[in-house]
Structure 1
C-alpha cells in the first residue's frame, strides 16, 4: 500500500502553493485558516489524493470535509484504506 501520510502531505502542500501560500504541509495544520483552501480546494485535494492512491474515497468524504486538521484527514484515509 502506498504511504497515505506522504501522499496527503504532498497533495496539501501542492494545493497551498498553487494558491499562493508558500508553506510546507504538516499534520497539525488546519484546513482554511492556515492554508487558504476553500471548499473547492478541498475537492481538488481529495481528487488528487484519490488519483495517487488509485482509490475512491466516497465512503469517507463527509468525515474528510468535517476534519479540522491534515492529521485527521490522514487518519481517516488510512482507516478507510485498511477497511476497504
Structure 2
C-alpha cells in the first residue's frame, strides 16, 4: 500500500496518458465503464513500479522517495492486475 499521496495533476495526466485503460501489458481494459452494465464509474487503481517506500514491495533505498510522485513510475491498473502486482 502506498505511503505517499500522488498529486492530482499527476493522476490526471496518467489517466490521459493511459487513455483510461489498464496499462498492464496485454490488458487494455477500459477503467471508466462497467463492461456488462455500461454504467460509468472510475474502477482504476494506481500502482508504483518502484514502491514509494524503501520497505514496500519493489522498494529501493535510493529510488523510492525520488520516484514516488513521478508519472513515469506509476501505472493505471484494473483490479485484477493491481492485485497481481501487489502480490509481487
Whether TM exceeds 0.5 here: the answer is: no
- The answer to which structure has the higher helix fraction is 1
Structure with the bigger percentage of strand: 2
- Given the two structures, how large is their TM-score scaled by the length of structure 1? 0.28
